[in-house]
Structure 1
Amino acid sequence: MTAPLYNTTILRLAATIPFHERLPDPMASVEKRSPVCGSRVAVDVIVDEAGRIARLGMQIRACALGQASASLMGAHAVGRSHDELTAVRDALTAWLAGERDTPPDWPGLDIFAPALPHSARHPSIRLAFEAVADAVAEAIARHEDAA
Structure 2
Amino acid sequence: MADSDLIKLYSARILALASELPHTDRLAAPDATVTRRAPLCGSTVTVDVAVEDGVIAAYGQEVKACALGQAAASVVGQAILGRSRAEVEAARDQMKAMLKSGGPAPDAPFDGLEVLSPATEYKNRHASILLTLEATAEAMATAEASACA
TM-score by length of structure 1 reads: 0.93
Deviations 1:93-137 (A, max 9, x none): 111111x43111123111111111000000000000000011011
Question: What corresponds to 1:63 in structure 2?
Answer: 66
Matched, 1:13 2:17: yes
Where does structure 1 differ by over 3 angstroms across 4 or more consecutive aligned residues? none
Q: Identity rate of aligned residues, in percent?
A: 44
The amino acid across from 1:116 in the alignment is T
Q: What is the number of equivalent residue pairs in this alignment?
A: 143
- SS for the counterpart of 2:89 is helix
- SS for the counterpart of 1:36 is coil
Question: What corresponds to 1:84 in structure 2?
Answer: 87
Gapped regions of structure 1 (runs ≥ 5)? none
Distance 2:49 2:113 in 1: 22
Distance 2:98 2:111 in 1: 15
- SS for the counterpart of 1:16 is coil
Distance 1:43 1:56 in 2: 7
Distance 2:26 2:136 in 1: 13
TM-score by length of structure 2 reads: 0.92
**Equivalent of 2:51 in 47, 53, 72:** 47
**Equivalent of 2:104 in 102, 105, 111:** 102
Gapped regions of structure 2 (runs ≥ 5)? none
Query: RMSD across aligned C-alpha pairs, in angstroms?
Result: 1.3
1:73 Cα offset (Å)? 0.4
Deviations 1:12-63 (A, max 9, x none): 1111110011111111000000001000000000000x21000000000000
CA contact (8 A) 2:94 2:104 kept: no
Matched, 1:137 2:141: yes
